[in-house]
Structure 1
Amino acid sequence: MSALQGLDRSTSELVLIVDDVPDNLSVLHDALDESGYTVLVATGGEAALQRATQALPDIVLLDAMMPGMDGFEVAKRLKAQPQTAHIPIIFMTGLTETEHLVAALEAGGVDYVTKPIKPKEVLARMGVHMQGARMARQTRNALDAFGYASITVRAQDGKLMWQTPLARELLTQYFGSASHTPPEVADWLLRHLPLAQRQVEPPRLAIERGARRLTFRLHQQTGDDDDWLIVMREASDGAVIEAMSLSFKLTAREAEVLYWVVKGKINRDIADIVGASPATVKKHMERIFAKLGVETRTAAAGMALSRIRLLNPQFEL
């Protein structure tokens, strides 16, 4: 574990200060440290990106004008990465012309302070923006503690703004990438946004990969932005298939076929899923009927579903 990953985040909030002038860093570091913040510093753009990605600070104080990569480019890159896009950025600038201040906000800044830096002003501005970030973090931490993965998506363009490590892992497994919002999820959010805006929970989205299922639930809007927190949860029905096999004395393949019958699939669909021919699936069905003592798919599905719900009350079709 790196020193950055080992930082204690339980008792104080983490601030990243980015400035190429040592005196500016020193003044701000001392003021923030005395106010109870944990402080990281970077003197250039590349170092800032590295520290922000590793430590995920609660807020970034970013110098606009630096040699090499300037603050505007740093902000754009942070906002382009799902793991850092949610972090509030306050620009520190000696440029007071309107076009420079507009550029700071367009690059992703939520606010700016002008140089020479006044620590009290910086602390006051930070307080405003930290409150929303603090509430969002507490919500995400609570969800993580109960085993839920979560992502934040901007509704207007479907951009993936933030994700937990578990969410990143699941998105990669189900969709092959965690760098953007899956089209199915973006479409689902956009389609049901009117319900969510009326505080009516929309129907959940379910993505199936064999016996694994990933569900998406719209949790809440975050802050005043157009960002929505979506909770993901994976359910693997491999245990259900194994339990059916034991309960009804079925082979593993017969139990898998019966599982998909319960899910409403026809023989041709089941054949595609399990990698067999429709004729083979039909033979499996004949043996399932004999073992369950039934004559129809409906009866077999009803008996299996009753047994499944005894074993797993949260099972969803």
Structure 2
Amino acid sequence: MSAVLNFERSTSEVVLIVDDVPDNLSVLHDALDESGYTVLVATGGEAALQRASQALPDIVLLDAMMPGIDGFEVAKRLKASALTAHIPIIFMTGLTETEHLVAALEAGGVDYVTKPIKPKEVLARMGVHMQGARQARQTRNALDAFGYASITVRASDGKLMWQTPLARELLMAYYGTTAPAAPEAVVAWLRRHLKEAEQQIEPPRLTAQLGARRLTFRLHQQTGDSEGGGDWLIVMREESDAQVIEAMSLSFKLTAREAEVLYWVVKGKINRDIGDIVGSSPATVKKHLERVFAKLGVETRTAAAGMAMTRIRQLHPQFEG
């Protein structure tokens, strides 16, 4: 079944309909299926939560009043999970009193339609809300394709609204934290630079160190309502000494050891310290440096470090010398 769903997801968007009345499910299922959507159904709250976490639909059409776990509670639980918080929810309700409609929106719904259900109205409302979700998904997919992890953090309460699988691994490795709470250092950094970000001025990046590995965060864009600071898409990229050294080796046509020596020169180390780090004598380090100077066409370690730093920052903008 999962193989079929994965194939379907590549060609159509997935809608989860949640309603305990079979006739309502049937009418909507047929209309959405004819419109090219892949349709999943659930007849109760527990089943809805399970399906949503497994299939990660593009949108949920949710009946407000159901026995057991009602739609309001389902919505709250979906929004409380970093896995499903990004999914738009449209409530379907026969309750038209203002207090019920407000409750639907406060539970996490982006919109509502009233019963009896009119499929054309549902399709129109879905189109409005799926456009934003589609753009956000395309952005995340593009970032992931180039090796960047991403998260969405709500500035007001520091809640981690969404994260890629790679982001989940990195946050656990560097901070030992899991959703729904974002790392305190990340939340503090976000709040400190909100004014700059809102004025479209890119703030300084946040860097976390883990041995020879570094994790860099940068604010990418605001993705939600600006109230209380809004939701922000944060892009993460991990770098390591080994990656930078390899890039220098390829860029300047250096041997691996020459690139390693040049890297530590950039870091401000003297020959004796570099020898201790790479396991060579200071005299051997000096010989490596002489060959580096010749290949770079410079005469001093300051000039070599400056040229290397310029190239590193072109290849790895988040590198801190």
Task: Place the TM-score, normalised by the shorter chain, in its bin.
Answer: 0.7 to 0.9
Residue identity (%): 73
What does residue 88 of structure 1 align with?
A: 88
Q: Are the counterparts in 2 of residues 289 and 300 from structure 1 also a CA contact under 8 Å?
A: no
Aligned to 1:12: 12
In the alignment, structure 1 segments of 5+ residues that lack a partner are 271-279
Matches of residues 190-201 of structure 1 in structure 2 within 5 Å? 190-201=191-202
Normalising by structure 2, report the TM-score.
Answer: 0.79
Contact kept, 8 Å, 1:153 with 1:160, in 2: the verdict is yes
Q: Using the alignment, how far apart are the partners of 2:36 and 2:133 within structure 1?
A: 17
SS of 2:53's equivalent? helix
Shift of 1:167: 1.5
Q: Is residue 93–residue 115 contact of structure 2 (8 Å, CA) maintained in 1? A: yes
1:98 corresponds in structure 2 to 98
Give runs of aligned pairs for residues 206-217 of structure 1, distance below 5 A.
206-217=207-218
* 2:79 counterpart of 1:79: yes
1:211 Cα shift? 1.0
Contact 1:292 1:300 in 2 (8 A): no
Asked if the contact 1:155/1:190 (under 8 Å) is kept, the reply is yes
Aligned partner of 1:188: which letter?
A: W
Gaps of 5+ in 2: 291-299
Cα distance 1:99–1:153, how it changes in 2: closer, same or farther (>3 A)?
same
Letter in 1 for 2:57: P
Letter in structure 2 aligned against 1:38: T
Is the CA contact 1:91–1:113 (under 8 Å) kept in the aligned structure 2? Answer: yes
Distance 1:209 1:259, change over 3 A: farther
2:41 corresponds in structure 1 to 41
Contact 1:32 1:39 in 2 (8 A): yes
Matches within 5 A, 1:54-73: 54-73=54-73
Q: Which amino acid aligns with 1:97?
A: E
Distance 1:304 1:248 in 2: 17
For residue 158 of structure 1, report the CA deviation from its aligned partner.
2.0
Q: What TM-score, normalized to structure 1?
A: 0.80
- Whole-angstrom distance in 1 between the partners of 2:54 and 2:4: 7
Deviation at 1:136, TM superposition (A): 1.3
- Residue 93 of structure 1 deviates from its aligned partner by 1.4
Match of 2:165 in 1: 165
- Counterpart Cα distance in 2 of 1:62 and 1:40: 12
Q: Which amino acid aligns with 1:161?
A: M
* Partner of residue 154, structure 2: 154
On the 8 A contact 2:219/2:234 being kept in 1, the answer is: yes
Mapping of 1:110-259 within 5 angstroms? Answer: 110-179=110-179, 180-225=181-226, 226-240=230-244
Give distance in 2, aligned partners of 1:311 and 1:188: 25
In 1, distance between residues paired with 2:200 and 2:312? 34
Pairwise CA RMSD: 3.5
| Aligned mates of 2:39, 2:173 — CA distance in 1 | 35
1:14-53 alpha-carbon deviations (Å, 9 max, x no partner): 1100111111111110011111111111111111111111
Q: Deviations over 1:255-310 (max 9, x none)?
A: 69x967754699xxx9xxxxxxxxx88x999688766689xxxx878756756776
Post-superposition shift, 1:233?
Answer: 0.8
Assess, with a 3 A threshold, how the Cα gap between structure 1 residues 7 and 48 changes in structure 2: closer, same or farther.
farther
Change (3 A) 1:293 1:178: same
Q: 1:249 to 1:300 in 2, by over 3 A?
A: farther
Q: Amino acid of the residue matched to residue 30 of structure 2?
A: D
- The Cα of 1:80 is off from its aligned counterpart by 0.6
Cα–Cα, structure 1 residues 69 and 192, in superposed 2: closer, same or farther, change >3 Å? same
Compare 307-316 and 98-107 and name the one that shifted more.
Answer: 307-316
CA contact (8 A) 2:202 2:219 kept: yes
For these two proteins, the number of residue pairs brought into alignment is 300
**Counterpart residue identity of residue 233, structure 1:** R
Q: Shift of the alpha carbon at 1:10?
A: 2.9
Instruction: Give the conservation status (yes or no) of the 8 Å contact 2:62–2:71.
Output: yes
| Change over 3 Å in CA distance of 1:290–1:14 after alignment to 2 | same
| Distance of 1:66 and 1:60 partners within structure 2 | 15
Distance in 1 (alpha carbons) for counterparts of 2:312 and 2:99: 64
The question of whether the paired residues in 2 share the 8 Å contact of 1:4 and 1:54 is answered with no
